[in-house]
Structure 1
Amino acid sequence: MDEIGTVVVGVDGTRASRPVLEHALHDAARRGSRLRVVAVVPLPEYWVATYGMGVVPPSVEVVAQVQAEAQRMVDEVVAAHGTQLTRVPVSVAAVVGAPSDVLLAESRDADLLVLGHRGRGAVASAVLGSVGLHCVLHARCAVTVVAPEREYPMPDAAPVGVGAATVPA
């Protein structure tokens, strides 16, 4: 059987998603898998529809811009790591919807879903965000959550690097 595996990674266009993408690319290279990069274009907030303002889906131009930004980030990461990552087949998609729903749907046939975790301070960082938690609880595949690089204000504490934890399916 010559079936190649799939790693799915969610990116949001922020600096914090770059190490998440790097982790996913390296993991896909290690596994000999393809990488599916998903940039979610969220729908307007629920309250907009609730109060009768109507839901206006994002324009085709907005979706195309989000996809182009995700592709630019992929190109930068691959270029920064030379030929090591050029062997990984990469597809990039911008998908409209709720982030957790889109990521779960896109990872349905995947071997691994890679997500970022935004640190919001020492206490809040101990709690996984709502998208990450929803994906960890409902994904059909293993989920890796990549923590951001951060420094703690204690003078004798060393900076904590990017870390990742994988939860089996």
Structure 2
Amino acid sequence: MSDEATSVPRIVVGVDGSESSKAALRWAVGQGKLTGGVVEAIIAWDFPTAWYGLAPPTDRAPVDYQKEARTMLDQAIDEALGPGPGRPVDLRPVSAHGHPAAVLLDAAAGAQLLVVGNRGHGGFSEALLGSVGQHCVQHAPCPVVVVRGSGRGA
């Protein structure tokens, strides 16, 4: 038997705090429960970008961005699934540095499934599918599920 045949299914889900990402997390947890899989809830973070060749002033260390992203992820998980222990699956929160699409595609290597919300916190709210979701659908190394936001409040 190969390691792949005996390993627990892994589901990767992108979470950015948006309603559609929370809906994607709920869906991924439900799927993980059905398949006996683990769910990796991933938030991506990056350093502030430059404006017109100038970097924004900051006195914050890179560790601050990592910590803030993890705090935001933990809050989104609690809002989507309820606080505390007793979750129906092994849930593994991950805060990773990089562009969201690249982070999710890297994490999806070897995963059974990649789950994304249809819209994140990006710029064009009228778009059917956000740029990160579109990129993941086109380039993922595994099947991708796009979950439409439920409209349910936090």
Report the TM-score, using the length of structure 1 for normalisation.
0.71
| Cα-Cα RMSD | 2.9
Is residue 19 of structure 2 the alignment partner of residue 15 of structure 1?
yes
Shift of 1:58: 6.6
- Structure number with the bigger relative contact order (C-alpha 8 A, sep ≥ 6) is 2
- The answer as to whether partners of 2:47 and 2:65 remain within 8 angstroms in 1 is no
For 1:39 and 1:7, how far apart are their aligned partners in 2?
Answer: 14
Distance 2:114 2:76 in 1: 18
Following superposition, the deviation at residue 52 of structure 1 comes to 5.5
- Give the 3 Å change call, closer, same or farther, for CA 148–87 of structure 1 in structure 2: closer
CA-to-aligned-CA distance 1:70-100 (integer Å, 9 cap, x gap): 12332444437x96xx241111111111111
Q: Which residue of 2 aligns with 1:91?
A: 92
Tell me the distance in 2 between the aligned counterparts of 1:136 and 1:144. 8
Report the identity percentage.
Answer: 29
The aligned length equals 142
Q: Quick one: distance in 2 between partners of 1:143 and 1:52?
A: 37
SS in 2 for 1:16: helix
Q: Which runs of 5+ in 2 are unaligned?
A: none
Are 2:29 and 2:88, in contact at CA under 8 Å, matched by a contact in 1? Answer: no
Partner amino acid, structure 2, of 1:65: E
Question: How many angstroms apart in 1 are the aligned matches of 2:39 and 2:140?
Answer: 17
SS at match of 1:148: coil
TM-score, normalising length from structure 2?
Answer: 0.77
After TM superposition, give the deviation of residue 50 of structure 1 in Å: 7.4
Q: Give the corresponding residue for 1:26.
A: 30
